[in-house]
């Protein structure tokens, strides 16, 4: 059986949530999507997530929410990570941190699907090794499902590529998030793992990475602390559609997707 999985790039603020509300379900129906993963670490005003937003995203059709380096930015983070089983934070945070770094959820076809969230270390704050972290849990996940998807939330292209090659043949896909700009290097790696360096941003593209350009430029030019407000225009939903064989877990195809707010559903 072929399983169609949609993975959405970083949801940024209200514009990102709104386009998911308006466009996601119709897109999933048209593309026959059986499972949807979305990175939600910027969903609440550009940084973090809340309980209400988590519930909203699940109601719009998202099955699993991954996070990143902004996971702790909202005060109710403990509540969200403890009560919602299908929201995960990076696996390679301290084992003493709240929440979990992977989950197995059920697709619309009834197949179990594993999702892992990792955080990179290059140009990022200190954190445990994502390579050793994912190595430790692959055996556990492999006993539950042949289909495993990894969100590698990282800054450096080289680190994302390294993770893709490290996991080639052992997971269905490794997709990069965090940089908010979709790359054009989607491919099936030699041993059957789908890979792309970054799946882009679900949010306002008339911006600098989802924030109002004048705010960001002011910070760059003055080197003074500046509040980065979420932008509003040219809202798009970025991500990838990956087709996987349910028996082998091997990816058969990966396709970039982009849905604009002002185009027909």
User: Domain with 63 in it: what CATH number?
Assistant: 3.60.21.10
Domain for residue 265, yes or no? no
Q: Is residue 60 within 8 Å of residue 244, measured between CB atoms?
A: no
Instruction: Give the C-alpha separation, 263 to 259, whole Å.
Output: 7
Does residue 74 carry a pLDDT above 60? yes
Instruction: Give the C-alpha separation, 188 to 193, whole Å.
Output: 6
Domain for residue 263, yes or no? no
Domain for residue 138, yes or no? yes
Q: Which residue among the candidates 34, 70, 79, 84 is catalytic per the annotation?
A: 70
Q: Which domain holds residue 214?
A: 2-258
Q: Report how many domains make up the chain.
A: 1
Domain for residue 155, yes or no? yes
Residue 34 labeled ligand binder: no
> What pTM, to 2 d.p., does this model score?
0.95
70 carries an active-site annotation: yes
Domain for residue 264, yes or no? no
Residue 238 labeled ligand binder: no
pLDDT tens-place string over residues 79-125: 788 889 999 999 999 999 999 999 999 999 999 999 999 999 999 99
Residue 180 labeled ligand binder: yes
Confidence of residue 224 (pLDDT cuts 50, 70, 90): very high
């Amino acid at each position: 059986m072929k399983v169609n999985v949609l993975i959405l790039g970083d949801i940024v603020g209200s514009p990102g949530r709104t386009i998911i509300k308006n466009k996601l379900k119709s897109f999933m129906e048209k593309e026959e999507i059986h499972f949807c993963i979305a990175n939600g670490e910027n969903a609440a005003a550009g940084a973090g997530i809340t309980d209400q937003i988590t519930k909203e995203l699940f109601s719009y059709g998202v099955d699993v929410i991954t996070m990143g380096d902004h996971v702790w930015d909202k005060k109710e983070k403990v509540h969200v990570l403890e009560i919602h089983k299908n929201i995960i934070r990076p696996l390679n945070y301290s084992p003493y941190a709240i929440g979990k770094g992977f989950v197995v959820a059920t697709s619309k076809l009834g197949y179990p699907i594993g999702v892992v969230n990792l955080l990179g270390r290059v140009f990022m704050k200190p954190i445990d090794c994502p390579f050793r972290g994912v190595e430790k849990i692959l055996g556990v996940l492999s006993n539950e499902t042949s289909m495993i998807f990894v969100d590698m939330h990282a800054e450096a292209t080289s680190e994302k590529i390294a993770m893709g090659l490290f996991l080639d043949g052992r997971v269905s896909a490794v997709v990069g998030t965090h940089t908010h700009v979709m790359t054009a290097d989607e491919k099936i790696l030699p041993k059957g793992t789908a890979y792309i360096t970054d799946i882009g941003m679900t949010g306002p593209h008339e911006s600098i990475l989802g924030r109002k350009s004048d705010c960001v430029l002011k910070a760059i030019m003055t080197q003074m602390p500046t509040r980065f407000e979420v932008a509003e225009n040219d809202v798009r939903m970025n991500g990838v559609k990956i087709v996987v064989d349910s028996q082998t877990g091997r990816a058969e195809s990966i396709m970039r997707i982009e849905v604009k707010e002002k185009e027909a559903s």
